[in-house]
Amino acid sequence: MGPSKKAQKTKERILKAAIEIFSEKGYSAARTSEIAKKAGVAEGTIFRYFPKKKDLLHEIVLEAIDTFGEIIALSSLKKVVEENKEKSLEEFLKAIVLDRVKIFNNYFNLAKVVFYEMQFHEDVRKMFVDKIAKKAVNLGKEIFGERQEMGDLKDIDLLIAARSFMGMVFIMLIQKQFLPEVSTTNDFEKEIETVIDIFLNGVKKRD
Amino acid sequence: MGPSKKAQKTKERILKAAIEIFSEKGYSAARTSEIAKKAGVAEGTIFRYFPKKKDLLHEIVLEAIDTFGEIIALSSLKKVVEENKEKSLEEFLKAIVLDRVKIFNNYFNLAKVVFYEMQFHEDVRKMFVDKIAKKAVNLGKEIFGERQEMGDLKDIDLLIAARSFMGMVFIMLIQKQFLPEVSTTNDFEKEIETVIDIFLNGVKKRD
DNA sequence: ATAAAAAGTGAGTAATCACTCAATTATCCC
DNA sequence: GGGATAATTGAGTGATTACTCACTTTTTAT
């Protein structure tokens, strides 16, 4: 007899609370007592499902890598790519970015925990590289490679191009999240359009 | 009578050890016993100089913000800018990036501690924003603004342009540091040239 | 309805850790 | 050299924390 529905719910509540606390103060500073309180269970209950505190982190990271690796990075993105294939490069990229950002926001805390703990746990880093980074790079190459074959793109290193584009978008999100007071505008769509314009056409005046 | 030379040395050894340990496992997971061991002092000695563990972090962050804010971000960069003013935009940016990356590597652990703890300590974040982020943004705007007036750049939002360029370089460094197995090339200079080319001219084929 | 199994509880425990302090050693100044 | 001051030491301490376990409550099966 497997775990009951209620047990499943309890486990999920604990995981959810742990993600929040971990993302708020980091794994090491997070207290199991606080996780229990936020999850609305007794502290002992946590240890019925996760014998060690580390097991909590590991399950969260595994879940996150599954979520990001399979669902987000691949199938749902491919759908967006398929749907927007016929559009101009500008619209194509804008559709992808808007879609990715929407998803990213939903999983922001989860992503924070993974990025953060990756630095300190070699096993987490390795999983991230194998299950996400490499796939993301390949997917980026694939998407841009297709456009390159279509004659839309210059003959440029696709890894660098895809990575650079990700960097531009990533730093925009980071800035908006952590340093909002630096911003000049709040028009997100407009800003994405500018970023895409820089990526596609550069900042240099044509001569 | 101020602190003796020896006392000064001891304090510096403790700070250096703390930066290493903090950057390795994060502030919370770092143990004062381990810092003492690495610094080659007794645990009690740490508390003569830093009554609380937090004081260690605060002094490190203050020092880092001073270092990055004043020395790196401003005077030394201005020198590089001045020296390369007459060159082409390509060479100008390449000189700046190479110079900044060299400095960044020297202070990598320190930067890691600041970036990392910024998430969890509001006071650290605020100092970072006031003393570094805003200055960096203004400097970026200034540098690019000058080139814009010279007619080298399009009429584009300078904050977004400067930030995007930083993002492209930043993600390159991050990838090389944390995900080296993803790389295809090891020719750093060549890669920077590609990044600059993308930033200046874009990836789109001219029609 | 009831017994057995599963889930949940929270006071208690052992281990860990930041921090103290009385004692020791090194440095300074005459 | 010696007395005063400053620096260092590390065993000890109280507080905190992950984790345990004997017990209670809830759920399930018949």
pLDDT in tens, chain A (207 residues): 456 777 889 999 999 999 999 999 999 999 999 999 999 999 999 999 999 999 999 999 999 998 888 766 667 788 888 898 889 999 999 999 999 898 889 999 999 999 989 988 888 888 888 888 888 888 888 889 999 999 999 999 999 999 999 999 999 999 998 888 877 788 999 999 999 999 999 999 876
The CA distance from B109 to B61, in Å, is: 12
Residue to substitute from A120, A168, A199, A207, interface B, most B β-carbons within 10 A: A168
Interface A-B, measured as beta-carbon pairs within 8 A, has a size of 159
Task: Check whether residue A33 has its CB closer than 7 Å to nucleic acid strand D.
Answer: yes
Å separating the CA of residue A149 from the C1' of nucleotide D16? 62
The CA distance from B95 to B79, in Å, is: 11
**CB within 8 Å: A157 and B182:** no
**CB within 8 Å: A168 and B168:** yes
pLDDT at residue number B74:
66
Closest CA to A121 of A111, A113, A132: A113
Q: Which domains does chain B have, with CATH numbers?
A: 1-51 (1.10.10.60), 58-201 (1.10.357.10)
In whole numbers, what is the pLDDT of chain B averaged over residues? 90
Q: Which two tokens stand for residue B179?
A: 């995900």
Note the Cα B108 to chain centre separation in Å.
Answer: 7
The secondary structure of chain A in percent helix, strand, coil, rounded to multiples of 5, reads 80, 0, 20
Question: B78 CB contacts (<8 Å, ≥6 apart)?
Answer: none
Tens digits of per-residue pLDDT, B69-109?
876 666 778 888 889 888 999 999 999 999 889 888 899 99
Find, in chain A, the residue whose alpha carbon is nearest to that of B126: A179
- Given a cut of 50, whether residue B154 has pLDDT beyond it is yes
Å separating the CA of residue B20 from the C1' of nucleotide D30? 64
Owner of token pair 């992808």: A96
